[in-house]
Amino acid sequence: MEQKPLEQQIKDIISISLWQFEGLPDRITRAFDDLLTAYSYNEVISAINSLMPKLQTEEAKARQGAGNSGMAGEYHMAIGMQLYYLQQCLDLVREKQSAT
């Protein structure tokens, strides 16, 4: 089986249907621990930095349509959570990197 690109793996991790507004769900933390066994800190940070502006663009588009329907509002909220999780993951990876 062919492995997905790192950026897609990260997006899959943060796209899980868990809502936790403080910190990261354990499932996400464990998934990033697994990624860090396969990739270097710098590779993961680079992939997160590459993914961040793409999600910010998606979030801005979703925000424009959020008032038009309930589904658009839910999509906007989901993208917002992905951005939140992505930033938390970036902080986590940098913290782990500085501890080594």
pLDDT digits (tens, 9 = 90+) for 37-71: 999 999 999 999 999 999 999 888 888 876 677 77
Number of domains within the chain: 1
Cβ neighbours around 96 below 10 Å, total? 14
Quote the pLDDT of residue 17. Answer: 64
Q: Is residue 39 included in any domain, yes or no?
A: yes
Flag whether 72 is in a domain. Answer: yes
Contact residues for 50 (Cβ-Cβ < 8 A; gap 6+) = 7
Instruction: Look at the block and give the residue holding tokens 């663009």.
Output: 57
Whether 99 is covered by a domain: the verdict is: no
Q: Is residue 59 part of a domain?
A: yes
User: Is 16 a member of any domain?
Assistant: no
Percent helix, percent strand, percent coil in the chain, to nearest 5: 75, 0, 25
Domain with 30, as residue range(s), is 6-10+26-94
Gap between the Cα atoms of 91 and 24, Å rounded: 11
Residue 80 placed within a domain:
yes
Q: In the predicted model, what is the mean pLDDT of the chain? A: 87
pLDDT at 75 (0 to 100): 80
- This prediction has a pTM of 0.79
Is there a domain that residue 20 lies in? no
Domain contains 87 = yes
Can you tell me the distance from the alpha carbon of 75 to that of 52, in angstroms, rounded to the nearest whole number?
17
**pLDDT over 90 at 13, yes or no:** no
